[in-house]
Amino acid sequence: MCGGLGSTVQSGPHAVAMLKFILLVNKQGQTRLARYYQHPEHEYISTERDIIRKCLAREDSQCSFLEYKKFKLVYRRYASLYFIAGVDHTENELAILELIHNLVETYDKYFDKVCELDIMFNLDKAYMILEEMVMNGRIVEMNQNRILLPIRVMDQAIQKWS
């Protein structure tokens, strides 16, 4: 079992959170990281602009969940970045918010106070961290130390050979 959301990681078709996509977007609406699961990317790209516009237009006092077409959007703003997740209507919004928060904390731990420039200039590492947490739209790991271990090992190998 994984830490954090480990209690939700169980066997069964709907026991593990199923994500359709995760987007990291700045306040100007520019996508900095996008990862799509389940469906071909082209199905979402046409609606990505609309999704971003809807999330950015909402007030801070409004709920971080909203219904959008065939799925639900769960988002959270951290400094200048919006973290947006698309999930099935049946998913637990609070569990997805916890995933987003843990992703931000993991980025903070790796990048030492992550900012938009860290994501832009280390996009490969940002994707690796996300891939250690979510595979094929399912949350597989929430323990920050286990998430960062393979990335730090890779960093050490690069340091050793350079």
Per residue in 115-136, pLDDT tens? 999 999 999 999 999 999 999 9
Q: For residues 142 and 102, is the Cβ–Cβ distance under 8 A?
A: yes
Which residue did the predictor score with more confidence, 5 or 29? Answer: 29
| Distance, CA of 101 to CA of 105 (rounded, Å) | 6
Which residue did the predictor score with more confidence, 18 or 81? Answer: 81
For strand 71-78 and strand 81-87, is the pairing parallel, antiparallel, or unpaired?
antiparallel
Per-residue model confidence as pLDDT tens digits over 90-100: 999 999 999 99
What does the pLDDT average to over 61-84? 93
Rounded (5°) CA angle 38-70-9: 50
Which residue did the predictor score with more confidence, 155 or 4? Answer: 155
Whether 9 shows a pLDDT value over 50: the answer reads: no
Q: How does residue 15 score in pLDDT terms, banded at 50, 70 and 90?
A: very low
Whether 57 shows a pLDDT value over 50: the answer reads: yes
Q: For residues 106 and 147, is the Cβ–Cβ distance under 8 A?
A: yes
Which pLDDT belongs to residue 60?
87
Whether the model clears a pTM of 0.75, i.e. scores above it, the answer is: yes
Which residue did the predictor score with more confidence, 10 or 30? Answer: 30
Q: For residues 76 and 100, is the Cβ–Cβ distance under 8 A?
A: yes
